Structure 1
């Protein structure tokens, strides 16, 4: 039911007009008169009743609730707001004298930015330099650099940083001299908004007691609203036909989603799958296309600053692509021009060495790679 709310002035004006219209003789309703005082008192009560009605409406309907009222509404149906996520990505650990010794980098080793934003090395059993025996990553003697996954110690978008921002060792490691993130970190989020939770609530209700693609997709978003996924039926992870099998490709925008997230998604999807249907939850095939371009700026711009902005914005674009999406060549040019008003020309743009879009491929995710400027 819609309610038309009125201001005090409008309410009082309508009351004066009604009272005067219903009386055969002229009423004294001037400011300070007893009649005016009574009408003003009733108008004030009317405003209070309007406020009470507004509070009731805002708390009894999800569409008009905000903040904690949204949480209490959906919790009655077994749904909770997704918390923010910490930014993740990869950092290169490098030695200036790699031949002289190897290096062991334990899980929990910290690296940080110049502003003291701390990131922890996390376990990835699929990494080529992971040692199950040592429970750590090992840089072999003779190998100058290894790339390891890290996670920001602070939840939220504050962990999203430009390429090269992570440049300091927070924990001393023998055999490691420098660290750097070659690609921007862009997948940290500040938590689910009211609008996003309302949207997910609809999908949640519509997928209850249904073993459908929508139910599986909802199960994935129940793990984290920031996950990127693609659900494919009747094939295996290679794309070969496999009746009765469902493959769920999952990523968090970094291209290197953790084992724990894969396990959580498997558990959530397994709870809604129909009997006799097999499921596979896997990482997508990650392609990190190299981007090159030459940028010219006018007198009002600083080339190094503009290039950093372009690099970060390209990383944000690629890391935000859904699994199975194409990567647009022309979008790179748009991003470059939009980075700063001082950009006057963008030439020599290539994407993975070419000048065409990268095609949409099932189970493949394009993620941020190197961005080079001529």
Structure 2
């Protein structure tokens, strides 16, 4: 039940009312009177006792504890808070002159146009431009650009930047003149909130002695924030009927979860799944959603000022979909009109060149592609 706390004036007024009811002759409650002073002193003491009560509750109950106190409470059960996640994606380094070769070294730093968010070039041995001997990405003679993976230098949601905002090269790279990100980043996350931590603790307790779907879901969700996934039962990795097996399709927001993350998810599921039950862990298949639409502005609004906001709203909606969730064609029009003030109507709309939904299969994850608003 909620605590019924009182402030100083409420305590004084209630005490005065009770005292006057019990002894009507006590009528002098003017500021500075002896009786008023006694009531105010008692009120201050009551407020201090209220504070102590709240402080004790905040440190001894999961429902009221916060921050470090909540960490300590759940730590007794072996559960720890999920940390923040660095946003990641790709940027393209380009050069004006294609004479000779150029190298983008591992660890090179780029920044957003305002200089507030930094990203570091990371290793991707599957990238055809990666050169293990030079420890970087090589641009051959006659080639003008190279696209490489980067990760935010500081973990958290601040790394979720829009397309075209990474334009500064913080560490000079000989032969490289410009950098840009064609797509926005959306997989960065701040540390797990108290509310999310409490919700996960409930699932943790409820699935400790169970080898159920809920236990497997909890195992996957506890590896890292920002994961979306779909569990398909009685199927193998090829989609064939396989009684007693299950497949997990996972996406971390990038469309290509790294091997280290997939390995961590596999180990977590292995500890939660029933003994001898085979399972398969696969990255979800990316379905790119390219959107084109024409909007009409309300009177008093400039269409040019609305285009960027509409594109951002549509991108956020698409990238918020989890694995297995379809992207509704008709929902896109509602997003443009309901999210952005000033949009009167959507006149034309195409999704991948058609007027139909995309995605929705258990192994699919819809990601935003090009968004053209006019």
The answer (yes or no) to whether the contact 2:216–2:272 under 8 Å persists in 1 is yes
> 2:71 aligns to what?
71
Taking the aligned partners of 1:132 and 1:230, their CA distance within structure 2 comes to 36
2:212 corresponds to 1:212: yes
Give 1:346 deviation, angstroms: 3.0
Alignment partner of 1:260: what SS?
A: helix
Go from structure 1 to structure 2 and tell me whether the alpha carbon gap of 1:109 and 1:36 turns closer, same or farther (over 3 Å shift).
closer
> 1:85 aligns to what?
85
The answer (yes or no) to whether the contact 2:189–2:225 under 8 Å persists in 1 is no
Alignment partner of 1:231: what SS?
A: strand
Go from structure 1 to structure 2 and tell me whether the alpha carbon gap of 1:136 and 1:262 turns closer, same or farther (over 3 Å shift).
farther
C-alpha distance after superposition, 1:202-251 (max 9, x if no partner): 11111213222212221222221221222222222332223333322222
> 1:277 aligns to what?
277
Output the aligned Cα RMSD: 3.0
Go from structure 1 to structure 2 and tell me whether the alpha carbon gap of 1:148 and 1:334 turns closer, same or farther (over 3 Å shift).
farther
Give 1:104 deviation, angstroms: 4.9
The answer (yes or no) to whether the contact 2:285–2:365 under 8 Å persists in 1 is yes
The answer (yes or no) to whether the contact 1:186–1:253 under 8 Å persists in 2 is yes
Give 1:279 deviation, angstroms: 3.0
Taking the aligned partners of 1:127 and 1:245, their CA distance within structure 2 comes to 33
Most deviating of 203-212 and 359-368: 203-212
> 1:155 aligns to what?
155
The answer (yes or no) to whether the contact 2:84–2:225 under 8 Å persists in 1 is no
Most deviating of 234-243 and 292-301: 292-301
Most deviating of 360-369 and 128-137: 128-137
Taking the aligned partners of 1:152 and 1:140, their CA distance within structure 2 comes to 27
Describe how 1:284-303 pairs up with structure 2 within 5 A.
284-297=284-297
Taking the aligned partners of 2:35 and 2:127, their CA distance within structure 1 comes to 83
Go from structure 1 to structure 2 and tell me whether the alpha carbon gap of 1:304 and 1:125 turns closer, same or farther (over 3 Å shift).
farther
> 1:164 aligns to what?
164
Give 1:80 deviation, angstroms: 1.8
Give 1:123 deviation, angstroms: 3.0
Go from structure 1 to structure 2 and tell me whether the alpha carbon gap of 1:88 and 1:174 turns closer, same or farther (over 3 Å shift).
same
C-alpha distance after superposition, 1:82-118 (max 9, x if no partner): 22222112223445566x5565544433333222232
Give 1:318 deviation, angstroms: 1.6
Taking the aligned partners of 2:276 and 2:137, their CA distance within structure 1 comes to 39
The answer (yes or no) to whether the contact 1:16–1:29 under 8 Å persists in 2 is no
Taking the aligned partners of 2:298 and 2:7, their CA distance within structure 1 comes to 53
Taking the aligned partners of 1:44 and 1:6, their CA distance within structure 2 comes to 11
Give 1:147 deviation, angstroms: 3.5
Go from structure 1 to structure 2 and tell me whether the alpha carbon gap of 1:294 and 1:174 turns closer, same or farther (over 3 Å shift).
farther
Most deviating of 301-310 and 50-59: 301-310
Most deviating of 271-280 and 322-331: 271-280
> 2:315 aligns to what?
315
2:219 corresponds to 1:192: no
Go from structure 1 to structure 2 and tell me whether the alpha carbon gap of 1:167 and 1:11 turns closer, same or farther (over 3 Å shift).
closer
> 2:110 aligns to what?
111
Most deviating of 193-202 and 267-276: 267-276
Most deviating of 285-294 and 105-114: 105-114
Taking the aligned partners of 1:236 and 1:129, their CA distance within structure 2 comes to 34
Question: Unaligned regions of 5+ residues in structure 1, if any?
Answer: none
> 1:27 aligns to what?
26
The answer (yes or no) to whether the contact 2:87–2:151 under 8 Å persists in 1 is yes
2:349 corresponds to 1:349: yes
2:214 corresponds to 1:245: no
Go from structure 1 to structure 2 and tell me whether the alpha carbon gap of 1:145 and 1:231 turns closer, same or farther (over 3 Å shift).
farther
Alignment partner of 2:254: what SS?
A: coil
